[in-house]
């Protein structure tokens, strides 16, 4: 078994708010994507394999972009998130138009990941310290098979100036174990306040220092068993809800409540930035150039 952890990159999103295939948008000085920096940081921190969750119709683009440059540097695998890819014996409403979100995406990697793994978004820049923090956690001898972790960020450092975002609002206990995490959608700054929109369309204030999940999780292989169980229940209960999303935080939250797993909240001093909207790109490019100028990254990664 590969004792090095794997990095699972969620890259199957359509990018409807961005208006294109942002996963392969070049933001570095030598044409690097955010994914390139994530993989570079993961290799530096000690990850041994990268698994891309993509759609079948972008496989050729991804292979052309990554396979050659990563050869000999890290093991690479691809899995596909498609609406028809669900566990055997389950059925879905034929009117459903797209897959079921981040939890479904992770489940797609069940057959290719047998070691501890991290989950990240393709369009988020998390910073090398975050990867190192997670690897250090995995190396602890005291962890159980159902001990997971997440890297938490302050909400104010994760907002876009160009529109709303979705974040997992987190609460942790005095030992930094997660108590619960709730997916909040349509979060944005309005004047001096930060608000989110609830299921009824009401605007609710959020403290800007709230700890949020940026979908940077650390799991052991046991998580796949829980995921499959929870997805079976979810897809059955939501047959008539054509837009229902199966989120990672919802599964983690259920496992905490049921006392079947626990999740350590890891604090990172790393800078986060990302591209939700096309207008975010210029800021991301400037941030990366600043990191290159300060010597954190070479001007050409590979």
Q: For position 21, what pLDDT does the model report? A: 66
Whether residue 78 contacts residue 72, with contact meaning beta carbons closer than 8 Å, is answered with: no
For 158, the token pair is: 């994760």
Spell out the domains of the chain, with CATH numbers in brackets: 6-270+277-293 (3.90.550.10)
Low-confidence residues of the chain, pLDDT below 50? 1-2, 16-19
Report the predicted TM-score, pTM, of the whole model to 2 decimal places. Answer: 0.89
Q: For position 1, what pLDDT does the model report? A: 42
Strands (E), the chain: 6-10, 49-54, 75-80, 117-121, 124-125, 147-154, 165-172, 178-190, 193-197, 203-206, 211-219, 262-267, 273-274
For 75, the token pair is: 């093991």
pLDDT, tens digit (0-9, with 9 covering 90-100), for 100-156: 999 999 999 999 999 999 999 998 999 999 999 999 999 987 889 999 999 998 898
Q: For position 285, what pLDDT does the model report? A: 95
Task: Supply the Cα-derived Rg of the chain in whole angstroms.
Answer: 18
Which residue in this structure is represented by tokens 């997670």? 134
């Amino acid at each position: 078994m590969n004792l090095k952890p794997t990095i699972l990159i969620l890259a199957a999103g359509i990018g409807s708010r961005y208006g294109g295939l942002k996963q392969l948008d070049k933001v570095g000085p030598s044409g690097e994507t955010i994914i390139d920096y994530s993989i570079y940081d993961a290799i530096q921190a000690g990850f041994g394999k990268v698994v891309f969750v993509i759609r079948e119709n972008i496989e050729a683009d991804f292979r052309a972009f990554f396979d050659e440059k990563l050869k000999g540097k890290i093991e690479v695998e691809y899995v596909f998130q498609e609406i028809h890819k669900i566990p055997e014996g389950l059925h879905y409403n034929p009117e459903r138009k797209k897959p079921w979100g981040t939890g479904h995406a992770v489940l797609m990697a069940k057959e290719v990941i047998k070691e501890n793994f991290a989950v990240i978004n393709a369009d988020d820049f998390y910073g090398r310290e975050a990867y190192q923090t997670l690897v250090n956690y995995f190396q602890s001898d005291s962890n159980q098979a159902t001990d997971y972790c997440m890297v938490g960020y302050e909400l104010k450092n994760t907002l876009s100036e160009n529109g709303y975002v979705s974040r997992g609002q987190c609460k942790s206990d005095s030992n930094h174990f997660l108590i619960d995490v709730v997916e909040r959608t349509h979060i944005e700054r309005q004047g001096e306040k930060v608000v989110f929109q609830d299921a009824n369309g009401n605007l609710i204030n959020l403290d800007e220092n709230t700890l949020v999940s940026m979908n940077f999780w650390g799991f052991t292989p046991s998580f796949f068993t829980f995921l499959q169980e929870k997805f079976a229940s979810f897809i059955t209960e939501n047959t008539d809800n054509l837009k229902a999303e199966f989120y990672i935080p919802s599964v983690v939250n259920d496992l905490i409540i049921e006392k079947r797993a626990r999740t350590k909240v890891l604090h990172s001093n790393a800078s986060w930035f990302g591209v939700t909207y096309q207008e975010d790109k210029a800021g991301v490019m400037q941030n990366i150039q600043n990191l290159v100028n300060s010597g954190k990254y070479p001007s050409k990664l590979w």
